[in-house]
Each structure stands twice: as structure tokens, then as C-alpha cells.
Structure 1
């Protein structure tokens, strides 16, 4: 087998690896459009048990507590209303347990907005709750907990300009206040304070909890992480829900638990594909980061436990922590990292193992979209920039291919002269390459370099919310979804709807973009040297159309990138070949392959 054919087969193998990887790791599914949880296990009285946190400090008590149906939607509430969020806070426990995102709809054709947090009493409880853990002479009833009934001291509606202050008095000299404010995006500031007007010192510790009832119905994509995400000083940890449920059981906590001590910087929360709910203590604040699974009630929860404080009579104590609850928008999260000092908060977005490619690619795409104002055209502009960066390497490859094209007649004669003597043919071709300064392997290097870029761009398109429901032109209204057009209904000219993307018939329902992809691959292939072997020629003749069908269900943004890449590659290669005196014959390869097959068949 000559080096030229080895080069071509290597390209096929590499392409096959890419396709196989996508079929295994990225199975076609309907994208998750909302937070969906299973119904949690409950006790006979309709309540679910939860263990309160153990704060730092040796004498902070742990006692049983209950998250009951008292926090159902009919409980007293304070409304949340900003340009981007709407919802309410339950006065039972002061829970932030009702939150929807005004900027995001469940489906592109729906007016229903995405719901992130829901209260106990609904099908999928998911919420944040704050309180104080008692120590010293204090008991559980002396501090506010999950079921404490708070009163509104100031503020009727939580807005960007009007915070809300809740208050509770234990009738034993301790007055607790909780001031909740919110910024223009998704960050809540929670300031908890205690005033000691009693005669004894009070030892207690503040905490925050994000609780999620039931095991979430997550996507099955290998490329996407959903579950725990936390930063513990310099260590970033990710764990899915199955891993959390396998943590070691701690009898003192009454649950599967993993505890980490944060010295200076950290945060902990749950992440979905596009949404996240995360507890963030003040930068520089030491705290205990806890991840817990209460198996008896099927509750997943994360906790931030602040150090115990001693409040002397006549004095007060106060602490402020943050809660991020919203969409994983790069610009907002990056802003909190830069302006608030949230350490490595940008890594709450799942950039993947190629993060050194993925992050720069996304930032460049984000910047282009800021200039152009359309993600589709920005992807095309990004492709042009990437091809420009790789052009010096590609130039050498295209020049080598042009020379190999010129040597094609000599190689055919050499093959006929060698007959079945493969060693003689191999030696002769190597001498021919050396004499004409042709490197047959040079064509593979651009392909190899393109693979991590391709994976990284797929990650960007699949994971980042900026591509969700992003339109391009006409029928492409969501670049993160497959092309909705179909050849089966003549691209919308006929009235019937194309098959569902998850049905067995979807592979035949080719859209406009997949067809253009097949054509662009076919044109690009015609510029490459034709295999001298008929079987190889047949394989390569089918490759563009196989890719066309297999990639038909990929995100439109990725298919658009591949079409753009193929088109630019074709133009570059065609012009370089012309500049070296070779006029590419786009259709000659097909005729030669057919003649060769006919000749071998007659023989």
C-alpha cells in the first residue's frame, strides 16, 4: 500500500473516530427545557426529614428538623420582581423557593418561562433556606430554622432597588433579622444578623442550604456535567447525583455526606445544562462546604456553614453571603468573578477537558456576536478567523496535494508496470515523492489539528446558554438544535410535518444544512488526489453522503461551522492549486474511478 493511500485511509479512520465518538457520547435526545425532578419520598404525615448543619465549633448541637408542607404555595409570601426574575419568598423559613427566569422560555414556540426553584408541596421541590445552628445553652427552638414563621419588617416586594427585611424574635432576648437584596441579574445578597438583648452570651452559627428533592432527570450526554459543582480553595470538584448518593454514611449527620473545609475562597451548588443554584460566602471567609444526600427522604443538598460566633449581651453579630440562582450566562458569571471576587466562578460553566481551546473560542465567538449581533454570522466569522490562523500550515498541505495531483499519471503508470510487486511499487513511489519534494502525510496534520477545535466548538454550542434559541436566518431559529427543515416535505412546501427528531425515520429527514454539508464535503474531496485502488475510491465517494446523514441531527450551529470550514478550505485549496499551474478537475476523479472499476471487473 503506497503512502498516499495510507494518508487517505488515516483520514477516514480519524473521521470515523469522530463520528463514532459522537454516536456514543452524544446520543440524539430532546434537549432539556426545564428542571424536572421525581416525586420525593415522604413520611406518613406528609413531611420530609432534613438534618440541620453542624457548624464549626465543638459545642454546636445537631438536632432533628423538618421541612414540612407548611411552606407550600399558600403560605404567606413576599413577591420577587425584577427585569429578569419573578417569584416569591415564603415566610415559612424565609425560603427562596419560587423563582422563574423571564428571559428564557421552555420552548422556542412557547410563552411559558423557565421555572428554576419550586417550593415543598409541588412535584419538584428545589429551594434555598437559611438559618442559625444553636450552640452552648441554646436549643433548636431558640434560633430560626427551616419552619420558623418570619415577619416582614421592611419591603413589600423584592426588587433591584428595594430589599426586603424579615424579622423573628425568640422571646428570650434574641432578635434575628434577614435582609435579602438582589442585583439586576441573578445574585441574591443574604445578610443575617442577631441582636442579643438578653443576659447570657449566645453561641450560634449561620448557614445556608440549597435542597433538591428527588433525583433530577438529567440529560444523558457524556459531554455535559449536571450535578454538584463546588470550588474548595484551589480545587474544583464535580460529581453527578449517583456519585453523591454513594458518599459514605455519617451517623452524626444522618446522611451520606462529604465535608470540606474552605480556608479563603469557595462556593458550592447544583448545576444543570443552562441553570445553576449556588451558595457563595464572602471571598476570604472560611466556611465548611457540605454535600449531602438524605437517603430516607431522597433529598440532595449543599450547605455553607459559617464559623460559630459568640454574641455577648447588648451586642450583635452580622454576616453576608450570596446566592446565585439563574442562567449560566458567561458575561454575568464573569462579572461576579471580577467585581465580587468570586474565586474561579467562571469554571462553574462546564468547559470540558479542552478548556484551553473552549474558553478562547467562546470568548472570541462572544466578542464577534457583540459586533455582528447574530450568532450564525458570528460562527461563520469565527471559522474564517480559525482558517486564517491555520493557513500557513494548510498552505504547505495544499501545495503538496497539488503536486501529488500532477504526479497522478506517473503513479498510474508505475502501478501498471509494477503489477503485483507491491514492494517495487512502494519503492518507486517513495523515490517519486522524494524527487518531486512531496510529503504525502502533510495533508493529515490540518485534519488532526481540526479535531480538538471541532470538539471544542461543539462543547461551546452545546453547553453555553448564549447559543440556546439563538436564531440565524429564516428557518434556523435555534442554532443549538438540528435543522428543522426536511427534504421529505420539500423544505416546507408540503403541509405535513417531518418525522420527530428522535424517531427511526428522522435519519431520512434531511434538512437544508446537512445537504449543503454533504455537497461541500464532496467538492472538497474532488480536489484531493484520487485513490488508485477502486475499493478505496468507492469508500471515499460515499463518505460525504454518509456524513450528511449522520450529522443531520447535530446542532445547526455546528453544521454551519463545518459547511463554512469546508467551503473556505475548498476555495483556499482551489486557488493554491491554480497558482501552481494545476487546474483542478472536479469531475475527472469520478470518471477515472468508474473506468478503473470497469477495467478491473473485465479483467
Structure 2
């Protein structure tokens, strides 16, 4: 088994892993036809996410709530700046988050991520906006409220009171208060940390003479119009952890078709995820809750978290604390929250089956980045480390190839002697392997080792927000995006962007060239295979061009190191190349004789 054949098998198997893994897993580990159970649940409000107050004499039964009407397509969209300026608001100012709380309805509907910018152009000064007010084009907000019976409750039109100088920072919590006409007191105390967590403590004080029933709730309301699309490698949309397992099987289409969808088991957290961003509600530990996802129509969806009904006696209070995560899926931050008690929060990133391999890669990359200050350099250094680790295996592979070539005359003799008795021939060949201490599969080992390495790095580059907008050198400003320079538009001189596979950049060209030389260094005994292998690098150049620049950088570096390694090993085993050239010449003559 020669090195060219091993390499082409590696390429084919890597492609199968990249493009067929999800299909294979669904084939052998199929998901149920109905991934979620549709059930009657607490129907928390829609647009403002707050309930209309129940009638004084015939309020809704415990566990139900009325709905405000959702925004319909006929209603004009509201301007973001106008909406943020029109209502009374409490400023949010934290190291990672900034925005405001809308006092009308107690909505957290204005939030930007200070550690991440929308683009890398113009200095990348505009932070990513995650939450936006109801009715705006990118509606996405969270709210905390109550439903129940036996008292008046705040609704979407309720204007909450707060101290004039209130400002939500890690050092200064903010408490919103409202007293109902019947005297019932409500308060929401907001606290924020240095990362992406906002804690809401909801308290209701029954100041009447009779008992009341109260259900605190929290909801996240968003449109999917600007949501990232789910792919075979990455889930986006509704997400949650239920009974210590993260549910990746519910999509926007599933919720829209079923109307209401839910995870199986007790809720650890529930929300929505995009490629790099996450919003999630985390219930108070030990408190009983119900949760679901539902469609509101007109591209609007909601994640509901509703606490079980509680009887609040006259003069008593009820308190529930819910956390809202609204931020970037930084693995270190998510892991820290998981260590603090949020079950499986680090698995909000869809690592998949190779998590055990991917997360160490990301850790090593971040350490190398800390040393070099450049993620591109870190990828190159990681490639060098991988090749160094695999070098002893490569030496064994070459030794195996040398041994296989050395016994080729004996193999041919056996094949000729037992050409009419296949079982006997196989038996004798195996006996020859054993006698000569040759492992026919020894040359394949590097292939199966490099497959998970390639796939793991691919997922790391695709999923990790830490690599987003990280530059390398010159024109490569974002290693998580495709190479922006294209040959067909003369590297940006012509005013158009080539489509798909035609978007060939310098990195893809380097990939083709280095792979061509890699194939050429290893003579192929079969002339037909030789023609295929000479054509294959240019096919892969087109196939890999749309992939992340960081991935191409890894592969180009790996090819260059492989060329150096092959040159070194051939210098130590010159007979290997000579035998390969001799075999190729013999096969060429045999084919000419037949022709």
C-alpha cells in the first residue's frame, strides 16, 4: 500500500466524515419521528409577554393566562432608535453588556454585546446587537412577570417605578416596583455580572385579606427572520437542557408545524441559539416549572418558563429567582456557569460526537494564541505540533511500506502459484505476512488518525466565537470566514463576487499546488491511478475554496510539512522510491504490451 493511495483514501474518508456523518448518525441512531410533545401548557402572553389582569370576580384558573395580540404583518415595523428613545428606560452598563430595561412592561429589550462587533470593517466599532424591542425588525426580548388569580397582575401596559438615578451595573442592582389597584405589591430586582448573566428576582406581596394564586414566569420572544440557519454541523433555533441532556432536535420549523413543542424532562434551561449567540432562561434550583417553545405567527417564536402555581396567603410574599443569559457562546464563560451549577451549559455549543477531541484542540489553540498573539500563527504552530506527534507513526508507515515492497517478489510468486486456488493463496499470503512480520494495514494508520484531527479542527474553526473576526496577515482579516481574495474578480479589482466553488483564493491555490507536489513525490505504480491523482489536487482546490480560511491554512501548512517529512524519510529509505519507480515502469510496459 503506497503513500499516494493512503492519501487519497484519507481525502475520501475525510469528505465522507464531513458530509456524511450526520446522515450516518441519523441512520444508526435515529431521532424519534416526533421530537417534541405537543401539549396544553401555560399560555403566557405574546407581544409584550405579560398577561392581561384577570377579572375581579371570575379570573382565569390557576395555570392559565390570557394573551395579548401578536404583531401582524399589516402593522408597520417600528424604528429601533425611535423605540429606544420613546419609552422610560433604565440603563444597563456592564463590562460585556450594554443597553436598557423598558419600564413599560418590564422588558429587557435593548442589549448589545460589547466584546463582539458586527463587522471587521471600519475598525469594528459597532457592537453586536442581541436584543431589540417588540415591533422592530429584529424583535428579540425577555420579560419577567406573573399570572394567576385572586389579585390584580401587571401586564404589557404596566409602567414600573424605579429610583431616578437607577442604573444596572455589576455594583448597583436595580429594583422595579409596582403596586396594583388592589394593593398587591410586585417587585423585580435585576442584578448583572461581568459576563452575560442577568438575574431577576421576582417578589409578590399579598397585601389583601384573602389568599391569592400566583405563577411567576419568564419568556424570551424573538423573530426568526434574521436567525442563522441550522446546518449538518451546527444547530440553531430553539434549545434547552432537560434532565441533564441538551436538546438539539427542535427547530423553528418543528415549532411552527406543531404549534407548541417541549423538551422531555425537567427544565435545566431553555432559550434560543444562533451560530455564535445564545439567550437562555435558567429557573431557580429546586423550584417546579413548566416550559415550552411556541409559534406566535408572523415569524415570531417564544420560549416560556412558568413556575408552578403557589398559594400566597394574606400578608405573605412569594419570591422566585430566574437567570437570563444573553450573550456570546464563549466556551470558557459557558463552562464557568456550568461549574457554578447550570447543568450542561457548556454544551450549548453543538460540539457533536467529537467533543472529546475538539475541546482540547480549542484549548491548545487558545494557549498558542496567548503566546503568539495571532490565531493564524497559532493554527500553524498547532499543525507543527500535530505533525511532530505523528512523526513516529509516519516512520512506522514508511517502514511498513518498505517491508511490503521488499516481499513483493515473494507475493507475486505466491499469486502465480495459487492463481486457481484463491483460498489457498490468501492462506499463503497471510503466512508470508506472519513470517516476514509485515502488517499490511500498517500504512493506513495515519489516515485514521488524521481524519478526526481534520474534522475536529474544522468544527473548532466553525463553532468557536473566539476565532470570529480574528485576522492572520495581509488580506486575511477573518480566519473563520472563507478567503476573501478571489482570482476571478482579480482579487477585488472587478466589482463582483464569484459564486460558490468558483470563489478560488490564494489559499485554495496553495492547497492545490502543495497537494500536487505531495502526490508527485510519491510515484504511483498504476498509470491510470497516476492520472487520477494528478487531477485530484485541482478538484480539491475547488471543493475546499469555500471553507474557512483557518482550515485551509491548516491544510496548506500540513501539506508543506508532509512534503518535508516525505523528503526526509525518502532520504533515509532511497530504495523505497526506486522500487516504486521500477514498479510503475513495469506496469506501463505491461499495459503497452496489452494495448
**Shorter-normalised TM-score: what interval?**
0.7 to 0.9
Aligned to 1:272: 274
1:412-561 alignment to 2 at 5 Å? 437-487=437-487, 496-497=493-494, 500-502=497-499, 505-506=502-503, 509-511=504-506, 513-528=507-522, 530-561=523-554
User: Distance in 2 between the 1:48 and 1:191 partners?
Assistant: 22
User: Distance in 1 between the 2:404 and 2:227 partners?
Assistant: 54
Give the aligned length.
550
Aligned counterpart for 2:574 among listed residues 547, 557, 582:
582
CA contact (8 A) 1:280 1:323 kept: yes
In the TM superposition, residue 225 of structure 1 has moved relative to its aligned partner by: 0.4
In the TM superposition, residue 396 of structure 1 has moved relative to its aligned partner by: 1.5
Deviations 1:246-274 (A, max 9, x none): 33xxxxxxx52436552xx6001100000
1:82-481 alignment to 2 at 5 Å? 82-110=94-122, 111=124, 112-135=126-149, 137-138=150-151, 142-153=152-163, 155-214=165-224, 216-219=226-229, 221-238=231-248, 239-247=250-258, 255-258=259-262, 262=266, 266-295=268-297, 297-338=298-339, 340-404=340-404, 437-481=437-481
Q: 1:204 to 1:569 in 2, by over 3 A?
A: same
Aligned to 2:90: 78
User: Distance in 1 between the 2:170 and 2:546 partners?
Assistant: 42
Deviations 1:474-501 (A, max 9, x none): 22221111222344577x6xx7148525
User: Distance in 2 between the 1:228 and 1:590 partners?
Assistant: 58
User: Distance in 1 between the 2:486 and 2:585 partners?
Assistant: 32
TM-score (norm 1): 0.80
Unaligned runs of 5+ in 2: 23-45, 53-59
User: Distance in 1 between the 2:515 and 2:472 partners?
Assistant: 22
CA contact (8 A) 1:50 1:67 kept: no
CA contact (8 A) 1:154 1:165 kept: no
TM-score (norm 2): 0.81
CA contact (8 A) 1:155 1:162 kept: no
CA contact (8 A) 2:174 2:189 kept: yes
User: Distance in 1 between the 2:244 and 2:230 partners?
Assistant: 29
Q: Which stretch has the larger CA shift, 278-287 or 318-327?
A: 278-287
RMSD after superposition:
3.8
Report the secondary structure of 1:354's partner residue: helix
Aligned counterpart for 2:11 among listed residues 8, 15, 20:
15
In the TM superposition, residue 382 of structure 1 has moved relative to its aligned partner by: 2.4
In the TM superposition, residue 298 of structure 1 has moved relative to its aligned partner by: 4.3
CA contact (8 A) 1:510 1:549 kept: no
Q: 1:158 to 1:293 in 2, by over 3 A?
A: same
